[in-house]
Structure 1
Amino acid sequence: MTQLVDAPGGPRNAPPASSPEAPRHRVRADIQGLRAIAVASVVVYHFWPSLLPGGFTGVDVFFVVSGFLITGQILRDVDRHRPLRFAARFWAARVRRIMPAALLVLGFVLVASWFIVPASQWPEIGRHVLASALSIENWVLAGDAVDYGAEGAAPSPVQHFWSLSVEEQFYLVWPVLLLLATLFARRFGPIGRLGRRGVVGIVMGLVLVASLSFSFIFTNVDPGAAYFVTPTRMWQLAAGGLVALIAVRGIRFAPWVGVALIGVGFFVLNVDMPYPGIAAMIPTVGACLVLLGGPDGRFSFDRAVSARPIQHLGDISYSVYLWHWPLLIIVPIALGHELSILEAFGLLAIILVVSEASYRFIEQPFRRGWLLRTSPRSLALGTVAVLIIVAGAVRFDASGQARIEAAAAEFEQTIASADECFGAAALDNTCGDPFAPVDEAAALAGNNDLPIASRKPRCSDDTGPFSEVICHYGDPNGARTVLLWGNSHASAWSDAIDAAGKRLKWNVIVASRSGCPATLGTPPPNEIRKTSQEEQKGCAERNEWVVSTLAPKVDLVVMSDLRAGYADGARSVDGFVEAITRVREAGATVVWLGDVPLTDGITTRRDGPDCLELNGQCSNPVSKALVARSVTDEVAGRVPDLLTIDPTDRFCDDERCYSAVGGVSVYFDGLHLSGTYSRTLGPWLARELKACAQGASSCPAL
């Protein structure tokens, strides 16, 4: 999955790759086989994740092989050149090998996105291309993983550059560490029985132990960010480096044991597990064992993977990795639909052709050609090329922002002249088709159309430690007080309940918290979003505070959440039932507000405004959009007299649920109500809440 240099080993029975006398510019069949296995697993996983749930661990295999090869090269060259010349030659080699193809892909993404991808995605794509060009994409993705507001965003066509970023950061640190260890050994001589290689080995071992320990701890604390950050991954590269250092090869059965471990990881591991952590030892140890093997015997791993197609896939693995993800993201957008089976295989063929061309006409010529022959020239031209992509990414981001701002200004004029057919009002009046397609301005404006509780300064509670952040809306002098309680979906209803409160002359409190459903006990795991231990703790404390402190002060508590996707349905229902019971004991009436429809499946969300920009209108079958009804039914079965409000007819007809109603984008992302549409729901919600406040006999029930 990541960029790897060619193995420096000679013929199949040559000395180990790390040996100084090993001939250069030859490859080992086992390493090319590992490359082929790794890139094939990643591609299959991205195309058909259910076929190979642990295929993403091909990245781990690449990390080990990369650490092995880079360390072998460093150990050969560090004694041949003075420190500054060694560093310049090393980093210049990385420029020649990595940058040409990588920067070409980044440039392609910018150009293709300009013509194909919705303008609403341009700022995000520009941000990620910029981060990829600067080799910090892994840190950007780690930040997004803990940023609740970034979770509904469409996948970036360059997010696979995170692994390249990890390696580039490794390449900055690793040669310096090994150079310093070598200079230390030269200066002070042997330490006891330790020679130079012993000192270098100790440094490698310390890095491995420190990184591995951090990976274990941080993966349990924050699995989303842990997957991407460099400190949780360096031990895998260091493990490959230690294999290169010990220079042992020829353990006959080690490769097959290693391949078995890697294969087990492909089928046993999955994205729902905390990763990397201890689970990453399976592919990492497996890859190390393969590298410890040798070409001995007719049944050796080397011979098994020596077939030309496998070896050639290893040759072009870098290009395959670079090209497969952007094409997989951009082509379905260009087609206007998800890939069929035949289209997926056709795209695979295109990826192989493009990768072959990239390998032959970009990778190889730039790597060996005259243009980047000297170290100063390589470093200078590499810097210029990066700056060109950086400038393009910044311009692309700015262009997207300008189009979104222009659309927002145009849409504001539409809002100012709104009539009885605008937004949700179109469902109650004679307005023609309320689900008619919207114009581009309405679609683009939807992306930044946040509900009031989520705008800056943000008053809806964010993820993290417990806090008492709440919002006050409606009529502050109202005779009754209503509390809206739940996760970010409750926050998205803030405009509606604010408008309803003003209409009913009720005081409104919104106690919403991102990623924190209105349930008691430890929040159950959800397929849509992983939560860290810190978030779970903060959520539990927050909800206990809401029930014990806020609920006794209000007349009505409206519970609103994203309730789809709970992996442990029984535990989620138990938590909701307990919350309802506790609120009633506090003296308040409970109203259960049904879920907003999904734009697609539970784990395949579709961004509403982006889809509208491409198609004018988008819809989802009721059977997929309203899967959370099962949770409502179970809770209602446990609490027979539960007052409920079903919002289905505000989004759906009998067959489908829509992303635009009355000329307004229903969502601002893939799950949450836009501020404008939420606000137009105010009169309807006021009617429903008034009926609920008058008693169960007149409150609509599901």
Structure 2
Amino acid sequence: MAARYPRPGPSPRREAAVVPRAAAPDASARARCGYREPVPNDARARDGRTAEAPVPPPGAAPAGPRHGVRADIQGLRALAVASVVVFHFWPSVLPGGFTGVDVFFVVSGFLITGQILRDVDRFGAGAFAARFWAARARRILPAALLVVAVVLVASWAVMPVSRWPGVGAHALSSALSLENWRLAAEAVDYGAEGAASSPYQHYWSLSVEEQFYVVWPLLLLALTLLVRRSGGLARLGRRTVVGAVMGAVLVTSLAYSFVVTAHDPGAAYFVTPARIWQLAAGGLVALLAVRGVRGVPWAGVALIGVGFVLIDTDTPYPGLAALLPTVGACLVLVGGPTGRFSFDRLTSARPVQHLGDISYSVYLWHWPLLVLTPIALGRDLTTVDLVLLVAVTLAVSELSYRLVEQPFRRGRALRTPARACVAGAVSIALVATAAVQLEHRGDARIEAAAAELAQAGTRGAQDDCRGGAALDHDCADPFGPVAADVALAASSDLPVASSEPRCSDDTGPFSTVVCRYGDPKGRRTLLLWGNSHASAWSDAVAVAGKRLGWKVVVASRSGCPANLDLPSTTGGPREQSTAELEACAERNRWVLSTLVPKADVVLMSDLRAGWADGSRSIDGFVEAIEQSREAGAKVVWLGDVPLTDGVLTRVDGPQCLQLHGQCSNPVSKALVARVVTERVVERVPDLSVIDVTSRFCDDERCYSGIGGVSVYFDGLHLSGTYSHSLGPWLARELKAAVRRAG
């Protein structure tokens, strides 16, 4: 897949799907499929054109028939936004519903290109840009910034404090139309793996389009001026020149999309250069101005539908698969009214048209409602809840459309370009300031909680009833609730190997960095080898090494298990790039050739749940064990830390504890990796295994809080405090395991 990262859907733009009624003869071809900007009531004919009466924006109660609105475009909007909502609420029902974003990109490119080319001629190069961006501000910013602001307040009210910094950062990126780049960075950030979904995640596609709206008009304006001033280009004609450049942009962006999807799938879904070709495709359709081709729209709908069904979150995306919805949307746009059973005719029903009208508001509100409601309720949503939430989304969207979108879009207060642009800039600044404030307040609260606990010596305190020690002594319920301030501090309680100065290898280029703990004069050397889960045990092995009198070397690399198979994904929610996989393979070869021969004991620790379903071979694990033994080391297999939810999903431990005091996961879900251990032991019967279950679980459930501290610092890695508390237990287990290893 492009990324197992959650895929929010499209940004249904509110550009009016209007067909001009009259145009100058030299612009007729372009005008047939171009966007028609509503003009003031007192507008009259210009340059031989008949001025259009005010066209009610989509969804407004029209004074008369909706002659100028293209029913097929509104139908596409309704289809796309419905598919995205269904995908988010019931992903198994429509696994490719997220491809509705591609449909909207095509529609936006189509409408905006037609509008730009027409308005450059109508208003002249000097006035065009200001009018264009003012129109964008009126149509896009009021509803978008309202949702950003409302979600900021709601997040402050219902979310745990540890999520405030992330929410503030995403709100800022969304207000500045940079959310897609933030998500792209997080998609390749191993530390963000399993992070809870942001209520602003869906703003990524708005960000792509806003960036397009900055560059595209400047490009087309420059081409127009170039054609006018160059005799040779003038003979070719503007449409030819613009079409050639659009085609070049499309081909270049499409090629980049293929490359980045193959080599950097985590970021590919979000980055603007991998998406521009879809907007350019819509622009070319507008430029060609072909309409009325019988049967073609239904072929386009069929392609879009195939994408909804056959594409899923495991499909490399956008890449080749994105051609289905993109080409499909283009075919619908070149169709138009072609008969009694045309797509245009059948989507003209008022409910379909109205859903297209309010699609922007539906898109803006549905995702934050879906993210925030279960947090506010303190439980997962049932099917009944989801149905009711869809109804709430439609109701709120209707109010937003009528009370915010339409008044700002049609009112006189922001009619002039100067007023619209200034108001937009001020509004963005105010919302951005609020976002930064929430981020800083969250950071300050977390730092204060962490400082308070650090001053009390939490990690190193010899408290027999704190952390994992509570499981070995006569203490009150070790699975009792965790104090809110302790849970808050846990969000920054990283293991020692992952703290500053970091000595656990990250996901960048191959390196030979390692961590060294334990007794520097010890006669034995313990090598802890694995991915970031090995790093999370660094506090425990540091304590164990000192108790046993062993040197300890931690050779961990994020996303890189101790597995000698050819590079492959690790089965987590984050997709790795080709460069990361190659660096992982190089790192493991180096560990095996350089560190293993110097070790007396090799302790292997990883996240292995991705191998639990049996679809992936365990040969690489077995080979690592055998080659380590051949190098003269005794091998001990450390069992997996329990999952907080499923294999591809996470529940952030500190955040959950802040809200509920205690959180748990059924053993059947938390310990799925035991199957992997059993399969490895079948292949290597004399393998010495340390079972960690008793440190996290009772007979039925595994817990996120034990002995009054958070087990995790995120959704899957041990916190430094809890790891440290397991040191004495691990020392005992290692001593026994080495004896068993012979």
The TM tier, using the shorter chain, reads over 0.9
Give the corresponding residue for 2:464: 420
Aligned-pair CA distance for 1:379:
0.3
Give the corresponding residue for 2:44: none
Q: Which runs of 4+ in 1 moved over 4 A?
A: 19-24
Give the corresponding residue for 1:161: 203
Match of 1:135 among 148, 170, 177: 177
Cα pair 2:538 2:723 within 8 Å, conserved: yes
1:229-280 deviation per Cα after TM superposition (whole angstroms, max 9, x unaligned): 1000000000000000001101111110100000000111111122111111
Q: Secondary structure at the match of 1:154?
A: coil
Give the corresponding residue for 1:258: 300
**Equivalents in 1 of 2:236, 2:673: separation in Å?**
64
Code of the residue aligned with 2:196 in structure 1: it is A
**Equivalents in 2 of 1:604, 1:47: separation in Å?**
16
Listed as ranges, the gaps of 5+ residues in structure 2 are 1-9, 23-27, 37-48, 56-67
1:419-477 deviation per Cα after TM superposition (whole angstroms, max 9, x unaligned): 21010000000011000001111110110000011112211111132211111111111
Alignment of 1:490-529 (within 5 A): 490-525=534-569, 526-529=571-574
Query: Are positions 1:226 and 2:271 aligned together?
Result: no
**Equivalents in 1 of 2:395, 2:462: separation in Å?**
52
Q: Which moved more, 1:267-276 or 1:669-678?
A: 267-276
1:458-505 deviation per Cα after TM superposition (whole angstroms, max 9, x unaligned): 111111322111111111111100000111100100110011001111
Q: Secondary structure at the match of 1:485?
A: strand
Cα pair 1:527 1:567 within 8 Å, conserved: no
Query: Are positions 1:480 and 2:528 aligned together?
Result: no
Give the corresponding residue for 2:497: 453
Cα pair 1:517 1:523 within 8 Å, conserved: no
Query: Are positions 1:331 and 2:347 aligned together?
Result: no
**Equivalents in 2 of 1:178, 1:443: separation in Å?**
54
Aligned-pair CA distance for 1:184:
0.6
Q: Secondary structure at the match of 1:558?
A: strand
Code of the residue aligned with 2:515 in structure 1: it is C
Aligned-pair CA distance for 1:696:
3.7
Alpha-carbon spacing, 1:219–1:311, altered in 2? closer, same or farther (3 Å) = same
1:579-626 deviation per Cα after TM superposition (whole angstroms, max 9, x unaligned): 111111111011110000011111221100000000000000000000
Give the corresponding residue for 1:551: 596
Alpha-carbon spacing, 1:693–1:527, altered in 2? closer, same or farther (3 Å) = closer
Query: Are positions 1:560 and 2:605 aligned together?
Result: yes
Give the corresponding residue for 2:34: 18
Code of the residue aligned with 1:18 in structure 2: it is G
**Equivalents in 2 of 1:521, 1:270: separation in Å?**
27
Query: Are positions 1:464 and 2:508 aligned together?
Result: yes
Cα pair 1:520 1:579 within 8 Å, conserved: yes
**Equivalents in 1 of 2:126, 2:212: separation in Å?**
18
Query: Are positions 1:382 and 2:419 aligned together?
Result: no
Cα pair 1:221 1:534 within 8 Å, conserved: yes
Q: Secondary structure at the match of 2:665?
A: strand
Give the corresponding residue for 1:680: 725
Q: Give the share of equivalent positions with the same residue, in percent.
A: 68
**Equivalents in 1 of 2:91, 2:660: separation in Å?**
27
**Equivalents in 2 of 1:571, 1:611: separation in Å?**
32
Code of the residue aligned with 1:660 in structure 2: it is G
Cα pair 1:504 1:686 within 8 Å, conserved: yes
Aligned-pair CA distance for 1:307:
1.0
Match of 1:115 among 157, 169, 176: 157
**Equivalents in 1 of 2:544, 2:277: separation in Å?**
56
Q: Secondary structure at the match of 2:595?
A: helix
Listed as ranges, the gaps of 5+ residues in structure 1 are 698-702
Aligned-pair CA distance for 1:127:
0.3
**Equivalents in 1 of 2:612, 2:136: separation in Å?**
44
Give the corresponding residue for 1:700: none
Match of 1:632 among 666, 670, 677: 677
Match of 1:347 among 389, 405, 413: 389
Q: RMSD over aligned Cα, in angstroms?
A: 1.7
Aligned-pair CA distance for 1:571:
3.9
Code of the residue aligned with 2:32 in structure 1: it is P
Cα pair 2:35 2:115 within 8 Å, conserved: no
Q: Which moved more, 1:521-530 or 1:465-474?
A: 521-530
Aligned-pair CA distance for 1:200:
0.9
Cα pair 2:194 2:649 within 8 Å, conserved: no
**Equivalents in 2 of 1:305, 1:11: separation in Å?**
21
Alpha-carbon spacing, 1:439–1:316, altered in 2? closer, same or farther (3 Å) = same
Give the corresponding residue for 2:75: 33
Q: Secondary structure at the match of 2:736?
A: helix
Match of 2:360 among 311, 314, 318: 318
1:17-67 deviation per Cα after TM superposition (whole angstroms, max 9, x unaligned): 328869573321000000001101111111111111111100000000000
1:390-444 deviation per Cα after TM superposition (whole angstroms, max 9, x unaligned): 1000100111111111211232244456521010000000011000001111110
Cα pair 2:536 2:720 within 8 Å, conserved: yes
Code of the residue aligned with 1:488 in structure 2: it is S
Match of 1:606 among 651, 670, 679: 651
Q: How many residues align?
A: 697
1:512-569 deviation per Cα after TM superposition (whole angstroms, max 9, x unaligned): 1111111002233314331111111111111111111111010000110000124884
Cα pair 1:519 1:572 within 8 Å, conserved: no
**Equivalents in 2 of 1:193, 1:512: separation in Å?**
65
Q: Secondary structure at the match of 1:338?
A: coil
RCO greater where, 1 or 2, for CA within 8 Å and sep 6 or more?
2
**Equivalents in 1 of 2:613, 2:661: separation in Å?**
37
**Equivalents in 1 of 2:241, 2:478: separation in Å?**
73
Query: Are positions 1:620 and 2:665 aligned together?
Result: yes
Q: Secondary structure at the match of 2:236?
A: coil
Query: Are positions 1:171 and 2:213 aligned together?
Result: yes
Cα pair 2:190 2:574 within 8 Å, conserved: no
Alignment of 1:24-173 (within 5 A): 25=55, 26-173=68-215
Q: Secondary structure at the match of 1:484?
A: strand
Code of the residue aligned with 1:93 in structure 2: it is A
Match of 1:398 among 425, 440, 444: 440
**Equivalents in 2 of 1:149, 1:466: separation in Å?**
18
**Equivalents in 1 of 2:364, 2:34: separation in Å?**
28
Code of the residue aligned with 2:585 in structure 1: it is A
Q: TM-score normalised to the size of structure 1?
A: 0.97
Aligned-pair CA distance for 1:170:
0.2
Cα pair 1:68 1:243 within 8 Å, conserved: yes
Alignment of 1:686-701 (within 5 A): 686-696=731-741
Q: Which moved more, 1:618-627 or 1:529-538?
A: 529-538
Cα pair 1:605 1:671 within 8 Å, conserved: yes
Cα pair 1:178 1:203 within 8 Å, conserved: no
Q: Secondary structure at the match of 1:632?
A: helix
Q: Secondary structure at the match of 1:255?
A: helix
Q: Secondary structure at the match of 1:81?
A: helix
1:633-653 deviation per Cα after TM superposition (whole angstroms, max 9, x unaligned): 111111101100010010000
Q: Secondary structure at the match of 1:275?
A: coil
Code of the residue aligned with 1:313 in structure 2: it is L
Code of the residue aligned with 1:91 in structure 2: it is W
Code of the residue aligned with 2:18 in structure 1: it is P
**Equivalents in 2 of 1:677, 1:207: separation in Å?**
53
Code of the residue aligned with 1:241 in structure 2: it is G
Alpha-carbon spacing, 1:671–1:380, altered in 2? closer, same or farther (3 Å) = same
Give the corresponding residue for 1:297: 339
**Equivalents in 2 of 1:516, 1:255: separation in Å?**
47
Give the corresponding residue for 1:431: 475
Q: Secondary structure at the match of 2:419?
A: helix
